[in-house]
Structure 1
Amino acid sequence: MPDVTPVPLAQLTTLRTGGAPTRMIDARTTGELVAALHDAWSEHGAWLVLGGGSNLFVGDGPFEGTVVRVLTQGIERMPSPRPGFARLRVQAGHDWDRLVAYAVSEGLAGIEAMSGIPGTVGAAPVQNIGAYGQEIVQTLVEVELLDEGAADPVVVPASELGLGFRTSVLKHHYGSVPARSAVILSVTLELEEVGHAERAIGGEQLRAALGLDEGTAVTLEWVRNHVLDTRRRKGMVLDPDDPDTYSAGSFFQNAIVSASFARTLPPECPRWPLEPDPDTFLVIPLDSFDGFVPPAATQDPAVKVSAAWLIEQSGIRKGFKLPRSRAAISTKHALALTNRGNGTAAELAELARFIQGRVQSEFGLILQPEPVLVGVDL
């Protein structure tokens, strides 16, 4: 469990902001990671677990606490109880896109549409990452994690993680604390063994993104390559030579609103109805049952609306920046706030607040940040 010389978090996060922590520990094995966490928690101070740094927005001041860098690596292929499927147990520090590349090379389907997403595997369930109709909740079996203050790790099924749209019980949402304070040590996915032959793409959102007609057959490799090309055009694949990629990806979440509110938005606003959560059980006490079963309550499903569209229609175009600021909207994607070179967290926060105010003024809703905010407020 080696301590290392602390470096500014601006060097370790894709938004390139953040001062140096008081202490920094590199954990390259599961044993080192568990020991580092126990050590950090024993100090009863602030602590931060850092993977790829791609979903963090860190303030300008020093971090008064311990940063644990998760550098564990490795993929273990295991049999699945379901015919035609395989399981992969992956260490938390493993690069996410390297995992996707491995799965595609092995002919395993289920995460290929999430090619190019930056960050580590351990962070993926926390955010319930997703792209083009695929989310990790669709393939996640379980995680091994260590609860804060616990002596030993436990294995937790995906059903207990509260996975929803870019959220879980493990995520630190802006203005709140996680429902469960824990650190993921490994992740187990279950993927379909489809091989390398061409096959039809079932997801409408993915077909639309790739320009495929229903029934058109393509290989997993074809999907991965075209998703990467699409993300590069949007500045969503890390490139040290492209300031448009000095971001945390989509800074604001697509808004989830009621169907009635969605009807107040212009009809051209892109939207996607979400499946309602049905009541699984209706309990009627036998001593009061009169033979009548009330019909199930019906309600319009919630609706996801495009934050990028709302931003652009509020008058903020790609490349927009405030006067004398080194923070700007990406020239390729309206949802990405970028650091154009030595920008500060204060400049990025100022731009984020400006965008929130414009969208609220025009459309009556407040966009919520997607990254985890550390030492910075909006």
Structure 2
Amino acid sequence: MASHEVVPVPLRELTTLRTGAAPERMLDAETTADLIDALQAVWSSGDDWFVLGGGSNLFAGDEPFEGAVVRILTSGIEELPSPHEGRIRLRVQAGHSWDDLVAHAVQRGYAGIEAMSGIPGTVGAAPVQNVGAYGQEIQETLVEVELIDEGASEPVVVPADELGLGFRTSVLKHHYGEGQQRRAVILSVTLDLAVTGASGRVIRGEQLRRALGLSDFEPVSLEWVRERILATRAAKGMLLDEHDPDTHSAGSFFQNAIVPEHIARALPPECPRWPVEPDLDTMTVIPLESYYGLSPRDEKPEGLVKVSSAWMIENSGIGKGFKLPRSRASISTKHALALTNRGGATAAELGELARFIQSRVHAEFGLLLQPEPVLVGVDL
């Protein structure tokens, strides 16, 4: 047995949703070199595999995973100069706690990720699904990632603009029903943050301003923002607490639906919605031999709108705290998007609840909600 191979631990002990049997194999990696060695050992064996960080975005099935799970336990933050005045770069190991990184940045007056305080999981998982909260997303500060592609002998550095970052997605994310566009593992992440010091900064984003209850444009400290965000997340059951079953979840189980404008207009006007920003970098290329001095008039593309899945769940007759008869799985009593394990719930029970919610929302509003966590050994 390789030095980094360990006795497999049931995934229900390593995931916040608390489901999953022990896999066939498990390997722990506490350094980048160990991680590369472990991955290459798994790849050469031909086993099925996946990596596990904080376990906060994984819904694992009741049957043992027939393959290898590589646990990323690396940590460390390196401060680097930024080529931009008034900014600093942080290179962070993939297994480092995301919230510990946010706390580090806030304590030192580095701005750009403070609204994402309290998000569980590891730094390496953050770019995979382009984590975000209250209008702030990692793609705003992400410079590059160091990763290793499946089967490769050496890692490479990939700029952020090559990761296909979108709303809770990237080319590295395993979407329900389909694989990743690029099967690779992140080893480290580099962010570029603004140095504000103790003076803080003016909050301009409307979504974050609403969450913080700001009515003016006076600067606020990063510590104050972090404290308010943590309190808000705790009120929604989105801060892990051993004694609060509402936090035994994978966070938001369903994604907010992104639909064309005409679909959004068909929903009740009370349904909260937010426009999805268009790609402002799109350009039209006209072959020189076809150019006669006038550019063709582009048809204005139909815009996309993000609509509230939580609102649709509650308005399809499923309220907070809802559970099916004799089930140990329920919707959080604090947040309609969170499916929770009330103690000993199986993946089958949580899956049954998820399918029921999907069917009710589809019957009422014609939209099929998509799961946000990575599903392993589970079908919806």
- Please confirm whether the aligned pair reaches a TM-score higher than 0.5, indicating the same fold: yes
Shift of 1:262: 0.4
1:329 aligns with 2:340: no
Shift of 1:277: 2.2
Contact 1:207 1:214 in 2 (8 A): no
1:57 aligns with 2:40: no
**1:228 aligned residue (208, 227, 230):** 230
Equivalent positions of 1:14-93 (< 5 A) are 14-93=16-95
Equivalent positions of 1:243-322 (< 5 A) are 243-278=245-280, 280-322=282-324
User: Structure 2 CA distance, aligned partners of 1:297 and 1:357?
Assistant: 36
User: Structure 1 CA distance, aligned partners of 2:288 and 2:9?
Assistant: 66
Q: Which amino acid aligns with 2:299?
A: A
Shift of 1:197: 1.3
Shift of 1:44: 0.6
Shift of 1:213: 1.2
Q: Which residue of 2 aligns with 1:130?
A: 132
Q: Which residue of 2 aligns with 1:146?
A: 148
Contact 2:109 2:200 in 1 (8 A): no
Shift of 1:288: 3.0
What secondary structure is seen at the aligned counterpart in 1 of 2:266? coil
Contact 2:24 2:67 in 1 (8 A): yes
Shift of 1:296: 3.0
Contact 1:142 1:156 in 2 (8 A): yes
**1:202 aligned residue (182, 201, 204):** 204
Q: Which amino acid aligns with 1:333?
A: H
Contact 2:260 2:304 in 1 (8 A): yes
Shift of 1:13: 0.3
Shift of 1:129: 0.4
Bigger shift: 267-276 or 181-190?
267-276
1:171 aligns with 2:173: yes
Q: Which amino acid aligns with 2:136?
A: Q
Shift of 1:4: 1.3
What secondary structure is seen at the aligned counterpart in 2 of 1:189? strand
1:188 aligns with 2:187: no
User: Structure 2 CA distance, aligned partners of 1:50 and 1:367?
Assistant: 25
User: Structure 1 CA distance, aligned partners of 2:131 and 2:199?
Assistant: 27
Query: If the length of structure 2 is used for normalisation, what is the TM-score?
Result: 0.98
Q: Which residue of 2 aligns with 1:345?
A: 347
What secondary structure is seen at the aligned counterpart in 2 of 1:249? coil
User: Structure 1 CA distance, aligned partners of 2:194 and 2:330?
Assistant: 41
User: Structure 2 CA distance, aligned partners of 1:242 and 1:232?
Assistant: 10
Shift of 1:114: 0.2
Shift of 1:279: 6.4
Query: If the length of structure 1 is used for normalisation, what is the TM-score?
Result: 0.98
Contact 1:200 1:214 in 2 (8 A): no
User: Structure 2 CA distance, aligned partners of 1:328 and 1:7?
Assistant: 25
Shift of 1:45: 1.4
Contact 1:201 1:214 in 2 (8 A): no
Shift of 1:278: 4.5
Q: Which runs of 4+ in 1 moved over 6 A?
A: none
Contact 1:116 1:237 in 2 (8 A): yes
User: Structure 1 CA distance, aligned partners of 2:242 and 2:282?
Assistant: 49
CA, structure 1 residues 214+297, in 2 after alignment: closer, same or farther (shift >3 Å)? Answer: farther
Contact 2:254 2:369 in 1 (8 A): yes
Q: Which residue of 1 aligns with 2:6?
A: 4
